[in-house]
Each structure stands twice: as structure tokens, then as C-alpha cells.
Amino acid sequence: MADAALFGGVEAGGTKFICAVGRAPDTVVAQAQFPTEEPEGTLDNVVHFFQEQEKQHGTLAGFGIATFGPAEVNLASPHWGRISQTPKPGWSGADIVGRFRTAFGVPVGFDTDVNGAALAEAHWGASVDTAQSVYITVGTGIGGGIVVDGKALHGLLHPEIGHIRPRVVASDEGFAGVCPFHGDCLEGLASGPAIKARWGASLGGLPQDHPAWAMEANYLGQLCAQLILMVSPQRIVLGGGVMNHHELFPLIREQAQRWLGGYVDTLKDPGALDSVIVPPALGTRSGIYGALYLAQNALKALNQRA
């Protein structure tokens, strides 16, 4: 029965690969995770997990890979399905989709982890009632995906929202930032490692009146204001480890309004951003549901072409 089919989803992260067998948005029958080591061994572990699962649950109907970037997500490229140039040892050019196609011979969907999460939130979560939405993760790095009319924005490569340049907060001018490419880009100034490098502790280890909170809210408020001006999203979902501190949300909304400077009429009133800048409705599951979405969508696309 096609509508009862199970899929395999992989949230391929920089430190671990999370694998799930299920059908989003309500069914996950098995889940496992493996450390991200060199590509061959990591993918061997992942493929073996799914092969074992197929013995229990039958053939999986498709796979979805939501991966760390940069990755080649352009279907027309001969390198589609591969990791692009990355400082991560061994992973430049790693053919993730090829490994799945060879092992399983079923449709494989492939996108960035943040595009996957953005799609999951747009189809089943916080952005379900919107035509245009953004998902941002703030954790080890900062990344974002943009969904327009149900589809993730790709274009030239895929958005790399974490590497835009915010205006540096005056009291932060002595801090060089931690991005290996840009130093003081947004990721370099506001990711988890940036907070630790600057203050010697993560946000959770600092008291609520510590200036780290206001500074973090300022940078993320700038991000939200710029997204509103540039992309006009009806919702901006902020997830990731740093955003588990929900106390940040009111501070970020306030800063975003300050940076907008009253320019957007409908967003001027107190509380106007309460329904725009929100936490993920799928919680920590947006990533893996994103991978399952990509799997389900890959099968659907194949069926539509047939």
C-alpha cells in the first residue's frame, strides 16, 4: 500500500549522522546515530543500519538526505548529491546520493540540513500557514533555508545565510570572530563557538543580566530585520542549540524591531513580531522530519514523471 510506505531519512551533520525509518509527520519506527568520521566508514554504518531495518520493515520506498553544507543541490549538475569543497577532512566531493542509489536502487532526495528543516516546518510545523518562510539554526554554526510556495530556494548554490555581515556591536569591536573564512560574519560573531570564544562560557553558563544575552539578541535581531527586508517571510523559525534558550526570543524580537526602525508599518506595534519570529513547532525533530520529507518528495517527483 503506497500510502503506508516507510522511508529512510538521514540528517547528516558535522558531528553525527542521525538516521530514521518512518513516515513524516507522525511515524518514526527506528532511529540511530553514528559519529561523522571519514566518508566511507560513516556511510558504511548508515547503509548497514538501513539494510538491517529493511529485514524488519520491508523495502524502504525512498531516502532523503539533509546534509551539512556546502553541498551540490542543483539536480542538473553532474555533481548533484555530493558534498562540495569543505575543510572537513575527506568530505570534499563525497558522493552521498551515489552510495544510496547503489545500495538501494530507490529514489533519493538531497538537500541541505537547513533546507530540510525549513521544508519540514513549512509542511508540518510552525510555518504551515505561510507561502514564504525561513528556518535558521543557531548552534555550532549558523545556517538557514528559505521556502517559497512549498519549495526550498536553491539558485546559484543554496542560501548561506550564516555568513552575511552584521554591523558589529560597538562593545564587540575587539573580538575578531571565529569564522575561518570571514572572521566577523554572523556565524563568526553569534554562533555557539563565537559565544564561547568571546565570553569563555556558553549562554546557559552566563547569568541573565550578562551582556552576552543582549549582544546575541542584537546580532540575531539584525539577521531577522534583514531577512524581513530582503525576503519578506511571513515566519522566521529560529532553532538550534543556542535557541534552546527561549528567553532570547523576546530580546531578538525587540532588537529586530529596533533595527527595522519603524519602516515596516505592520510590524511597528509592540508584539507585532510575536507571531513572526518563533521557535520550531517540530522541536528538535525538524531536521530528521526534513530528511523524511525529502525522501517522500523524491518518490512523489518520480511518480509524477512516470
* 165 binds Zn ion per the rule CB under 5 A: no
Contact track, Zn ion, 242-261, x by CB under 5 A: --------------------
Q: Sign of dihedral through CA atoms 293, 298, 303, 305?
A: positive
Taking CB under 5 A as the binding criterion, the range among 27-35, 112-120, 177-185, 224-232 that sits at the site for Zn ion is 177-185
Sheet holding 108-112, edge to edge: 27-35, 16-23, 7-12, 63-67, 108-112
Q: Is 170 helix (H, G, I), strand (E, B) or coil?
A: helix
Quick one: 101 or 182, whose CB is closer to Zn ion? Answer: 182
* 190 binds Zn ion per the rule CB under 5 A: no
* 185 binds Zn ion per the rule CB under 5 A: yes
Size of the site for Zn ion (CB under 5 A): 6
Taking CB under 5 A as the binding criterion, the range among 137-145, 155-163, 232-240, 245-253 that sits at the site for Zn ion is 155-163
Report how far residue 244's alpha carbon sits from residue 291's, in angstroms, rounded to the nearest whole number.
21
Of the residues 40, 59, 75, 181, which one makes contact with Zn ion according to CB under 5 A: 181
Of the residues 101, 163, 196, 258, which one makes contact with Zn ion according to CB under 5 A: 163
Give me the least distance between CB of 65 and Zn ion, in Å please: 24
Q: Is 232 helix (H, G, I), strand (E, B) or coil?
A: coil
Report how far residue 282's alpha carbon sits from residue 145's, in angstroms, rounded to the nearest whole number.
16
Give me the least distance between CB of 162 and Zn ion, in Å please: 7
What residue spans of 105-191 are helical by DSSP H?
113-124, 186-190
For residue 216, give the C-alpha cell. Answer: 546575541
* 142 binds Zn ion per the rule CB under 5 A: no
DSSP structure class, residue 206? S
Of the residues 179, 189, 242, 288, which one makes contact with Zn ion according to CB under 5 A: 179
* 273 binds Zn ion per the rule CB under 5 A: no
Of the residues 101, 165, 182, 245, which one makes contact with Zn ion according to CB under 5 A: 182
- How many angstroms separate the first and last alpha carbons of the chain? 18
Give me the least distance between CB of 256 and Zn ion, in Å please: 21
* 161 binds Zn ion per the rule CB under 5 A: no
What residue spans of the chain are helical by DSSP H?
39-57, 96-104, 113-124, 186-190, 192-199, 211-231, 248-260, 286-305
For Zn ion, the binding residues (CB under 5 A) are 163, 179, 181-182, 185, 187
